Amino acid sequence: MDPSLLQDFLTESGELIDQLDTDLVRLETADSSEEAQELCNGCFRALHTIKGAASFLGLTAVTTFAHAAEDTLNRLRKGEVDVTEQVMDALLQSADVVKGMIEQLSAGEEAQDGPKDLIDTLHAIAEGEAAAADTPDANTPPPSQDAGKEPDAEDNAKPGVPLNLGPQKLDLLEFMITDLQDAAKHIGEAVDGLCNDATLEESANYLAEVCEEMEKTAEFFELDEMTSLIKVLTSVAGKLHDASHEVIEEIAIRIKAAKTLIDQQAEALNDLRALSWPLDTFCSRLTKLAEDGSIDDQVKGQHNGDVQALLILDGVIEQGQIEIASTATVEDTPEPTVQKAETPKPATTDEPVAAPEEAKDPEEKDKAEKDTAGSRAPAKPVTEQTIRVEVSRLESLLNLVGQLVLNKNRVLALTRNIKDQPIPPEMAEDFSDAAGDLDHLMSELQVSVMRTRMQPLAKLFDRYPRVIRDMARMTDKKINLEIVGKDTEVDKSVLEMLADPLVHILRNSSDHGVEKPEDRTKSGKSEIGTIRLEAEHQGSHVRVAITDDGKGLDREVLGQKAIEKGMTTPEKLEQLSDEDVFGFIFGAGFSTAKQVSDLSGRGVGMDVVRTNINKLNGTINVMSKKGQGTTIEILIPLTVAIMPAMVVGVGDHVYSIPLQSIVEIVRPELDEIKSVSGHPVMKLRDIVLPLVDMRQRLDEPPVDDGSRFAVVVAVGGQRVGLCVDRLVGQQEIVIKPLDDTYMQGGPFSGATIQEDGEVCLILDVIQLIRSNSTTVNSETKAAA
């Protein structure tokens, strides 16, 4: 198997499955039957596409399983099975199974067969009520969707005959239609070559070849008229070699006309309809032309090279149809795709009933089509608007931009220095102009490249309704998830890093936050809990907030637990603000749940949240009111690769501190620094701020002078002051990984390259804060 084909399949299927998942959950709560129908069709399409591609690639396990799920979905789509929790459970599980298979395939393994019992369930649902459906109910109006997908404008006026094909042929329908469309396209190309003497012979041969191929396709559809038309074309193509220039032009226009007819037929076939035209005159005139080059005088030259006019002349279509037919031809670029996607494998049972019924009322259908066309088939531009690019290429592009930013910084630094040199002032000015332009362009380039990596949060958010649904089902709660601002875009890496934390927070909110329905009623709240997930841009940051209207956090309980875990002491606890106390929930192993459930309570989740958010240089705030709910607010920079930082000096060396984590910078006098159980602290307004001696942490010899700065950094409510010797200045830095094993252990989150090309390490504020609190803790413990 071609690995790139498989890769395409995996990527596409992965996206489809995500979509399927979302749609299924929405389906369960759909307000109107139209919406449900729409979603149902969407799900069906997604599954069908996966099945089709999988069978093409010979992935039997996927095909078989998708087929079973598809059957069930098909019943649902036709309204023969109700949307119940059991059915949805089965379908959602199926989506998971297919996802699992895709993951197995991505990992280079063979896909395992789907679980037997689930397949059985699916079959049971699909067949359970089959008896009822076996007798097609004529009273049931066909699903509203059908009206939209059925008619093309031209077969409204001239309704085609519904096609009756065996199930095997139905399976192949899509491919055959594509064949037909391709053939029609090839005919068009060949005809263009006919009018040129140089390419005449080649084109004629090509045409004959294509027509012969097409005969088989037409026979497959059991379309007698189409077959005979194509047969005529084949024979005509064979006679073109020695026809005169004039005759060929006449023939060419007729072949074009035939092509139009074939195109229309292909369209109609998408809806399983066969069109028919009075083709006799057309065919006989064409044959005659090819044989002896004679044209009926009354027709000769009358069409002016216009296909539609010709068709009217030959009595194939009537005058009134011109407009409709021509619009159809013009539109045929966007149409086929839409139509094809719309066309699920129709069940033979209701087709014959539905089709004539619709044919009765062309006007209404016309309207229906317009409506659906408006809502579902937005004018699709002919050219592609997006391209798929490997992430690695974007990465390298971003890397290069990073390099450029550093280089720009260097040029700017040189420009500053040049002013002190003995050079003509105009030159210095030119220099600084050029440097200024460079600076400006670089920031634009940087933004543009960043934007190529931006993805909407919807990619994540769309997964969560499922998470909440499952949580609600498992905990017997009623939870409504509101999502706001899912179009907010963030860097791809940010998106990936956010995925897990958000799930953990949502799980926490639904498990610990939202109360059981009975408890909610008791406290005068509505039975259904609400979790609100919102995202918005705030300057160069993205704010994601998760708000629940549950019971809120309890300061007493949290504080007690924190003391138990040795994270704080009773005395300290009193000084802490509410926010600081709530911050304890992010501690590793911290859980107030009395028992560990499948869902949460191990105290790992929130630690993951903090770790990941910290890696993104983000901050978390917890706000909560007892009895009213909790809001967890995450602020993350839009991108992680380039950020502003404060460069500080410790000893002879310089280090960067992400500006994001810096609250303020103070300059304590020597006597302001006190010591609490051997650890330096200072009083900053009304709080006691622990200090970290950076000289000590960074293996520099201690000094006694007091002219030091305390850079106050905060992470998740915890604050410490980092004592440094010098402030060098604020700088835009490009983060480089510092991932070699030799580099691990030090309090660094990465490195950057300075203006002079030297490496500057970035301080990992979180690690500094953590190690500070652990040393404090271990010592307080030892003291106790």
Partner 1 sequence: MATETQAPTTEDINSVISQASSDGELLQLVSFEVGDEEYAVPILSVQEINRMMQITRVPQSPEFVEGVINLRGKIIPVIDLRKRFGLVELENSDDVRIIVVEIASRVIGFTVDRVNEVLRINSSIVEPPPAMVCGLDTDYVQGVGKLDDRLLILLNLEKLFTAVEIAEIDKSSQAA
Residues that bind partner 1 (CB under 8 A): 399, 402-403, 406, 653, 697-700, 736-738, 740-743, 745-748, 751, 753, 757-761
Output the smallest distance, CB 754 to partner 1, in A.
9
Comparison of 3 and 757: residue with beta carbon closer to partner 1 = 757
Please, what is the minimum distance in Å from the beta carbon of residue 767 to partner 1? 11
Nearer CB in complex with partner 1: 257/753: 753
Burial 152-187 (b: 16+ CB within 10 A, else e): bbbbbbbbbbbbebeeeebeebbebbebbbebbebb
Nearer to partner 1, 5 or 743 (CB): 743
- What's the closest the beta carbon of residue 429 comes to partner 1, in angstroms? 31
- For the bound state, the minimum distance from the C-beta of residue 774 to partner 1, rounded and expressed in Å, comes to 12
- DSSP letter for each residue of 368-398: HHHHHHHHH-----SS-------HHHHHHHH
Distance CA 632, CA 763 (A): 26
* Contacts for 285 with CB less than 8 Å, ≥ 6 apart: 254, 295, 296, 299, 314
Q: In the complex with partner 1, which residue's Cβ is closer, 403 or 540?
A: 403
Are the beta carbons of 397 and 452 closer than 8 angstroms? yes
Which letter, b or e, does each residue of 234-258 get, where b requires 16 or more Cβ atoms within 10 Å of its Cβ? bebbebbeebeeebbebbbbbbbbb
Helical H runs in 33-129?
33-56, 60-77, 85-106, 116-128
DSSP string for residues in 661-693 = GEEEEE---GGGEEEETTEEEEEETTEEEEEEE
Cα Rg, the chain, nearest whole Å: 35
CB-nearer residue toward partner 1: 510 or 656: 656
- Residue number, 124 or 400, with CB nearest to partner 1: 400
Whole-number minimum distance, CB 703 to partner 1, in Å? Answer: 16
- Name which of 100 and 651 has its Cβ closer to partner 1: 651
Q: Say which amino acid occupies 699.
A: D
Cβ proximity to partner 1, 662 vs 738, nearer residue: 738
For partner 1, which is the closer residue by CB, 459 or 697? 697
As measured in angstroms, the least distance from the Cβ of 66 to partner 1 is 38
Residues in the chain: 784
**Phi/psi at 721 (5° precision):** -105, 125
- Residue whose CB is less far from partner 1, 584 or 655: 655
Least distance between partner 1 and beta carbon 766 (Å)? 16
- CA 421/CA 278 separation, integer angstroms: 91
* CA distance readout (Å), 401 to 153, 644, 647, 733, 734: 52, 16, 21, 12, 9
In the complex, the smallest distance separating the C-beta of residue 3 from partner 1, rounded to whole angstroms, is: 22
Residue 242, SS3 per DSSP: helix
Shortest separation between residue 415's beta carbon and partner 1, angstroms:
21
Nearest partner of 508 among 525, 527, 533, 486, judged by Cα: 533
Closest to 469 (Cα-Cα) out of 499, 526, 507, 504: 507
Q: Closest distance between partner 1 and the C-beta of residue 748, in Å?
A: 7
CB neighbours of residue 64 within 10 Å? 15
| CB of 742 vs partner 1, minimal distance in Å | 4
Q: What's the Cα-to-Cα distance from 695 to each of 511, 650, 700, 752, rounded to whole Å? A: 45, 6, 5, 20
Q: How far is the CB of 751 from partner 1 (least distance, A)?
A: 5
Q: How far is CA 227 from CA 173, 207, 222, in A?
A: 17, 15, 8
Strands 673-676, 718-724: pairing is unpaired
Q: How far is the CB of 698 from partner 1 (least distance, A)?
A: 4
Question: Closest approach of Cβ 86 to partner 1, in Å?
Answer: 50
Shortest Cβ 177–partner 1 spacing (Å): 49
d(Cα 390, Cα 759) in Å, to the nearest integer? 30
Nearest in space to 695 (alpha carbons), one of 665, 742, 737, 655: 655
- As measured in angstroms, the least distance from the Cβ of 740 to partner 1 is 5
Q: Which helix (H) or strand (E) holds 23?
A: helix 3-28
What's 391-458 look like in SS3?
A: HHHHHHHHHHHHHHHHHHHHHHHHHHHHCCCCCCHHHHHHHHHHHHHHHHHHHHHHHHHHHHCEEECH
The beta strand positions in 258-381, using DSSP E, are: 273-274
Cβ atoms of 554 and 579 within 8 Å: the answer is no
Q: Which residues of 383-416 are buried (b: 16+ CB within 10 A; e: fewer)?
A: eeeeeeeeeeeeeeebeebbebbbebbebbeebe
Question: Which residue number, 268 or 751, has a Cβ lying nearer to partner 1?
Answer: 751
| Residues with Cβ within 8 Å of residue 407, at least 6 apart in sequence | none
In the complex with partner 1, the residue whose CB is nearer, 310 or 406, is 406
